[in-house]
């Protein structure tokens, strides 16, 4: 009898090992080029999350298939097509900026492949898109966070907004901030338009300086924001500057140097104020791997995108059923993430907190948390 039971146990183990297989999840990020500062730190989180949770509950191994977009929207589209048609991915995590994420979503939506964006905040990304999801806040929320903090906490009354007309992220965040700031009784004296890739901002700074607003809001990415702030310092223009999460990385501080001292911005997470036990555990794992405790918010958001994808797959009878996985993503409720508690609604949008930070002595320092 005991021999028979042993044979049965061995047969069960062998059957499980035979049935267990690799399930692919695509990862589309800017790992090189001007936007690599976003993609590389996000992938740190995705990769570590995969290391900590490499298998589904049925024993299948989750295989990450990474494609570098080089920060380009055409590369983003090509990567999506390749991952879906050749690699047969169940879902996709990516991209980092809204313009490139829109390319991914437009293709994945038609193929019924769920996308979870770690950091693409433009409100319109998920509109009429059944397979578009995100773990970050939207620009309508972070725009209001900046406006409320500037007007109510700092008592600032007037602003100049510098918008990158080539980026949907910048256009959307600019609009959200302006609406909220105006509702608070503030006044936007002027919106100045720039384009990604511009390098000489002397004329822009001259305009801003002449307007003498209480502060400047820069809803742009780290490359342009750092150059504008450096050139503003050279022009002896030292009014407060505020941005959204487009500057929430070490690259911005490295590029800006001492010119970005005192700079304020919104973010999704701060390692010095971990919001969940999952945050604390992940920071400990990150420190063990890298020797650093300074976990970037994009690293945390990358981990959350992966973990929510896996959680949804585990809730499906067939974890390779992309339609089921997408449906379960949109049932995510108070998920304990690395970056905080996250709920995702039936439109794919996340409800979550934001934090405000200020750069002091070359480091981003936590100031406060804003809940939805």
Which structural domain, as residue segments, surrounds residue 145?
140-267
Name the more confident of 274 and 8: 274
What distance separates the 2 farthest-apart alpha carbons in the chain?
92
| 113 lies in the same domain as 261 | no
Percent of the residues in the chain that have a pLDDT greater than 90, as a whole number: 94
pLDDT bucket at 2, cuts 50 / 70 / 90 = very low
- Examine the pLDDT at 114 and tell me if it is beyond 60: yes
pLDDT bucket at 5, cuts 50 / 70 / 90 = very low
| 189 lies in the same domain as 279 | no
Domain CATH number, residue 108: 3.40.50.2300
Rounded distance between C-alpha atoms, residue 252 and residue 273, angstroms: 21
Residue 362 covered by a domain = no
> What are the two backbone dihedrals, phi and then psi, of residue 281, each rounded to the nearest 5 degrees?
-65, -40
pLDDT tens digits, residue range 96-113?
999 999 999 999 999 999
Residue 35 covered by a domain = yes
Res 232: pLDDT: 97
| 20 lies in the same domain as 121 | yes
From first CA to last CA, the distance across the chain in angstroms is 61
| 7 lies in the same domain as 120 | yes
> What are the two backbone dihedrals, phi and then psi, of residue 302, each rounded to the nearest 5 degrees?
-60, -45
CA 183 → CA 93, 147, 157, 186, 363, distances in Å? 36, 9, 12, 7, 32
pTM equals 0.91
pLDDT bucket at 20, cuts 50 / 70 / 90 = confident
| 198 lies in the same domain as 177 | yes
Residue 326 covered by a domain = yes
pLDDT bucket at 199, cuts 50 / 70 / 90 = very high
Tokens of 3: 């021999």
The residue from 267, 299, 330 where one domain ends is: 267
| 103 lies in the same domain as 191 | no
| 10 lies in the same domain as 30 | yes
| 229 lies in the same domain as 345 | no
Residues constituting the chain: 372
| 122 lies in the same domain as 37 | yes
| 164 lies in the same domain as 284 | no
- Examine the pLDDT at 6 and tell me if it is beyond 80: no
Q: What is the mean pLDDT of the chain?
A: 95
pLDDT tens digits, residue range 312-363?
999 999 999 999 999 999 999 999 999 999 999 999 999 999 999 999 999 9
């Amino acid at each position: 009898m005991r021999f028979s039971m042993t044979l049965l146990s061995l047969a069960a183990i062998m059957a499980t090992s035979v049935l267990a297989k690799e399930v692919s999840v695509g990862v589309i990020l800017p790992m090189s080029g001007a936007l690599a500062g976003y993609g590389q730190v996000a992938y740190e989180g995705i990769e570590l999350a995969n290391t900590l949770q490499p298998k589904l509950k049925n024993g299948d191994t989750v295989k990450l298939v990474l494609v570098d977009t080089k920060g380009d929207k055409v590369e983003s589209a090509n990567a999506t097509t390749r991952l879906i048609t050749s690699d047969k991915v169940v879902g996709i995590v990516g991209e980092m900026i809204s313009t490139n994420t829109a390319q991914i979503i437009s293709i994945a939506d038609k193929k019924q492949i769920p996308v979870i964006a770690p950091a693409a905040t433009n409100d319109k990304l998920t509109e009429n898109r059944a397979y578009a999801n995100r773990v970050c806040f939207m620009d309508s929320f972070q725009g209001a966070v900046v406006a409320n903090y500037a007007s109510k906490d700092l008592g600032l009354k007037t602003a100049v907004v510098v918008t990158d007309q080539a980026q949907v992220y910048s256009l959307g965040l600019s609009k959200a901030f302006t609406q909220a700031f105006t509702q608070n009784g503030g006044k936007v004296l002027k919106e100045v338009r720039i384009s990604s890739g511009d390098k000489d901002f002397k004329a822009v700074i001259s305009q801003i300086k002449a307007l003498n607003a209480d502060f400047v809001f820069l809803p742009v990415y780290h490359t342009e924001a750092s150059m504008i702030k450096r050139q503003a310092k050279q022009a002896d223009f030292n009014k407060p500057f505020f941005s959204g999460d487009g500057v929430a990385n070490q690259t911005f501080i490295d590029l800006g140097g001492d010119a970005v001292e005192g700079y304020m911005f919104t973010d999704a997470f701060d390692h010095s104020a971990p919001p969940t036990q999952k945050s604390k555990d992940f920071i400990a794992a990150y420190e063990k791997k890298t020797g650093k405790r300074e976990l970037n918010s994009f690293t945390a958001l990358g981990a959350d995108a992966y973990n929510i994808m896996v959680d949804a797959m585990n809730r499906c009878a067939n974890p390779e059923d992309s339609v089921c996985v997408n449906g379960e993503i949109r049932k995510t409720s108070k998920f304990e993430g690395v970056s905080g508690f996250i709920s995702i609604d039936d439109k794919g949008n996340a409800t979550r907190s934001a934090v405000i930070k200020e750069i002091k002595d070359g480091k981003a320092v936590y100031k406060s948390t804003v809940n939805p």
